[in-house]
Amino acid sequence: MAVPIAVLDCDLLLYGRGHRTLDRFKLEDVTDEYLVSTYGFPRQFIYYLVDLLGASLSRPTQRSRAISPETQILAALGFYTSGSFQTRMGDAIGISQASMSRCVANVTEALVERASQFIHFPEDEATVQSLKDDFYGLAGMPGVLGVVDCTHVAIKAPNAEDLSYVNRKGLHSLNCLMVCDARGVLLSAETHWPGSLPDCTVLQQAALTSQFETELRKDGWLLGDSSFFLRTWLMTPLHIPETPAEYRYNMAHSATHNVIERTFRTIRSRFRCLDGSKGTLQYSPEKSSHIILACCVLHNISLEHGLDVWSSPATGHMEQPEEEYEQMESVDSEACRIRQELLLTHFS
């Protein structure tokens, strides 16, 4: 009885004999179902990454047998989506754990080099207006250019003396500041902040703040929760709403801001290396930051390719520490005026 060649190939891929499987593995020899279950993405998406990153991953090497860009990308995707360097993953493409680690490093740097290409705010008026229209369609909040929040990703302790990465839960983490649009596309991602910093401090020091204050954007604002100060370009909820208009404003704000929480869940669910279920990222803060940013780039690319189904919450152990904060009252009278005008104009 004839055995389908795809089955034979999968068996060799899963239980193959070391590096000899490198010559045997071909994307066209396995099914989309196998690629999605093992590497998290379908064939055409992987082909796109090979075209995008191939030149960066084909740098000259003194090794007699360089690993192909295709294999490097599969190795990295396998790690990002499973959080594991287990032998089974290496056997699937015929490389050692050490080679897996090098592949992840190479692909991560190639993606980080392209971060600004895929993560940025729109510039042209038509796209900006479309951005605001999409947000308005969610809950009736006008003028929104993005929703902003922070999330923590667990990392190994850099060293015994460095406590700057210890968060409120006593765990080592990076505090990542992100902005997304109404579909969950990331518009900004700063992944390098130490976990000990509260969200408001991260935002105060972030390039995002410099960008908005320097450009003096008057065409809209971001939405942030009560862990941030109210600013002319950042609308926060009212601490104690009293009037019907204030309640309506807070409800619209909450419903719109929820998009960023769903985006965090989607990223953690798709990229299990970030969700804590396999333990912390076993890298330095700098390398861990790059891995997080690489996953953010892949998240945006996946949305560009129509892989935009909202995922269920991740089951990992590392959740964002609950901030114990008082309402961040603004001393910016202009910001208070803008919020009050927004209340009167759209929610009264």
Give the SS3 label for residue 6: helix
261's tokens:
């929480």
pLDDT tens sequence across 52-86: 999 999 866 545 457 889 999 999 999 999 887 65
- Starting at the earlier edge strand, list the strands of the sheet with 234-235: 186-194, 173-180, 144-154, 221-223, 234-235
- Per the model's pLDDT, the better-predicted residue between 92 and 300 turns out to be 300
Q: How far apart are CA 222 and CA 234, in angstroms?
A: 5
How, if at all, do strands 173-180 and 144-154 pair? antiparallel
Q: What is the DSSP letter of 346?
A: I
Q: 171-174 long-range contacts, Cβ below 8 Å, gap at least 24?
A: 171/195, 171/318, 171/321, 172/280, 173/318, 173/321, 174/285, 174/288, 174/289, 174/292
pLDDT value at residue 4: 40
The answer to whether residues 200 and 229 touch, using CB atoms and an 8 Å cutoff, is yes
Per DSSP, which regions of the chain are E strands?
A: 144-154, 173-180, 186-194, 221-223, 234-235
Backbone angles phi, psi at 172, to 5 degrees: -80, 135
Query: What length does the chain have?
Result: 348
Q: 202-210 long-range contacts, Cβ below 8 Å, gap at least 24?
A: 202/150, 202/175, 202/177, 203/148, 203/150, 203/177, 203/228, 203/229, 206/177, 208/148, 208/177, 208/179
- Per the model's pLDDT, the better-predicted residue between 90 and 178 turns out to be 178
pLDDT value at residue 280: 87
92's tokens:
């699937």
Give the SS3 label for residue 126: helix
Whole-prediction pTM value? 0.87
67's tokens:
């690993």
Residue position matching structure tokens 């193959």: 16
Residues 6+ apart with CB under 8 A from 156: 172, 280, 281, 282, 283
Q: In the predicted model, is pLDDT for residue 184 greater than 80?
A: yes
User: Domain locations in the chain?
Assistant: 32-57+67-117, 119-284+333-347
Among residues 64, 22, 313, 320, the alpha carbon closest in space to that of 171 is found at 320
pLDDT tens sequence across 190-247: 999 999 999 999 999 999 999 898 875 667 999 999 999 999 999 999 999 999 999 9
Residue position matching structure tokens 């518009």: 187
The answer to whether residues 271 and 295 touch, using CB atoms and an 8 Å cutoff, is yes
Torsion from C-alpha of 20, 25, 31, 37, nearest 10 degrees: 70
Among the ranges given (15-19, 117-121, 164-168, 221-225), the one the predictor scored with the smallest mean pLDDT: 15-19
